[in-house]
Structure 1
Amino acid sequence: MRITLIAVGKTEDKYLIEGIEKYLSRLKHYINFNIVIIPDIKNTKSLSEAQQKTKEAELISKQINPTDVVVLLDEKGKKHSSISFSAYLNKQMIGSVQNLVFIIGGPYGFDETIYKRSNTSVSLSDMTFSHQMVRLFFVEQLYRAFTILKNEPYHHA
């Protein structure tokens, strides 16, 4: 299985980039994982929220294959503990999923076309985080999930 994280806009804060890179290097030992960055939409001042979401959806859709299992990182999504998230990943691997795609939307969330294309959604918290921070939190939780599956001591349940 391969896991892809699609995110809108680049990460600018050095401390977040360093944290993400730390977990990316650790994840290499467990899974084929990559991050696809969708460029920020230009001239957003002249666009409504709906128009901005539509443009982002067009760019996101180009990165998704018909056979991909798509999971939105969305505030309305299913909440998992770290252990139940690892079980979810394990179920996908056992179910022969080839490519599991997680998506972090833009500042206004997802266009309806992306909601319709998704297979499910996951919420990382009831709290709101910057989209840049969510990337770090997600890759850390992904790493944690694999250490749980491998019975390694990183996660102390």
Structure 2
Amino acid sequence: MKILLLVVGKTTESYFSEAIKEYSERLKHYITFDMEVIPDLKNMKNLSFDQQKEKEADQIFKFLQSGDYLVLLDERGKEYSSVQFAAYIERKTHVVPKRLVFIVGGPYGFSSRVYKAANEKISLSKMTFSHQMIRMIFVEQLYRAMTILNNEPYHHE
């Protein structure tokens, strides 16, 4: 199984990019992990939030493949502790045949089409974080999950 983090818009802050790169490199020891960036869409100022979400949805669907298991990182999703998330990832490795795809939407969330296509939603916190922060937090939590599953000392309880 491969894990893909699909994000809308580039990471502009270098300190987030460096942290994402660091944890992505660490993940290579455990799993096949990639992060794909959907470029920022042009000429969005004159569009409503719903129109923007629809244009982002068009781009999201271009990256998806048949058999992908889609998980939206969404404030209304299910919350997990780090240990529970590790168990979640382990379960998915046994049932997802191809790619486990986590998606971070644009600033206004997802279109209804993306919600309908998703298999489930996960929330990383009840708090709100910038989209750039969520990427870094997710990649770190995925790395933490791998260390938990391998009984390594990174995670402390």
Matched, 1:90 2:90: yes
Q: Distance between the aligned counterparts of 2:105 and 2:45, measured in 1?
A: 18
Matched, 1:121 2:121: yes
How far did 1:96 drift? 4.4
Q: Deviations over 1:103-147 (max 9, x none)?
A: 000000000000000000000000100000100000000000000
Task: Report the TM-score, using the length of structure 1 for normalisation.
Answer: 0.98
Q: Distance between the aligned counterparts of 1:151 and 1:130, measured in 2?
A: 31
Matched, 1:53 2:50: no
- Counterpart of 1:62 in 2: which secondary structure? helix
- Counterpart of 2:63 in 1: which secondary structure? coil
User: How many residue pairs were aligned?
Assistant: 157
How far did 1:44 drift? 1.2
Structure 2: give runs of 5+ residues left out of the alignment.
none
Q: Deviations over 1:18-49 (max 9, x none)?
A: 11111011000000000110011111111000
Task: Report the TM-score, using the length of structure 2 for normalisation.
Answer: 0.98
Q: Distance between the aligned counterparts of 2:125 and 2:96, measured in 1?
A: 28
Paired position in structure 1 for 2:72? 72
Q: Which amino acid aligns with 1:18?
A: E
Q: Distance between the aligned counterparts of 2:13 and 2:6, measured in 1?
A: 18
Q: Distance between the aligned counterparts of 1:18 and 1:67, measured in 2?
A: 31
* Percent identity (aligned): 56
Q: Distance between the aligned counterparts of 1:54 and 1:141, measured in 2?
A: 29
- Counterpart of 2:101 in 1: which secondary structure? strand
- Counterpart of 2:136 in 1: which secondary structure? helix
- The alignment's C-alpha RMSD in Å is 0.7
- Whether the 8 Å CA contact 2:69–2:96 is kept in 1: the answer is no
How far did 1:89 drift? 0.5
Paired position in structure 2 for 1:30? 30
Structure 1: give runs of 5+ residues left out of the alignment.
none
- Counterpart of 1:106 in 2: which secondary structure? coil
Paired position in structure 2 for 1:44? 44
How far did 1:97 drift? 2.9
User: Which stretches of structure 1, 4 residues or longer, exceed 2 Å deviation after superposition?
Assistant: none
